[in-house]
Amino acid sequence: MNYSQFKESLSQSLPPETASEPLKALWYAAKDDWEAAHDIAQSKEGTPVYDHLHAYLHRVEGDTWNAGYWYKRAGKPVFKGSLQEEWEALVKSSL
């Protein structure tokens, strides 16, 4: 699956079956289902990819303190771009 195909999948009612769990979380985030995305992010706490996803989701929520905690856990700097830019970067790095 490439980025365009993933974006096209957002018109469906469920994420692609073949998508990784982080991609499924990003799919849910794009569909404004924060809880489903957050459940996935929490499922593998301590794994950098999941912790970075967790940071992004708390940034979406507006909880910058908690987001900062998760960026640190993921070993990533706090993202300085827009939420959309970070979503795209996370998708592309998860493909």
Can you tell me the distance from the alpha carbon of 15 to that of 17, in angstroms, rounded to the nearest whole number?
A: 6
Inside any domain, residue 90 = yes
- Domain span at residue 86? 19-94
pLDDT tens-digit profile of 76-90?
999 999 999 999 999
The pLDDT value recorded for residue 89 is: 98
Q: How far is CA 76 from CA 31, 44, 69, in A?
A: 25, 17, 10
Report the predicted TM-score, pTM, of the whole model to 2 decimal places. Answer: 0.96
Domain tally for the chain?
A: 1
pLDDT tens-digit profile of 15-72?
999 999 999 999 999 999 999 999 999 999 999 999 999 999 999 999 999 999 999 9
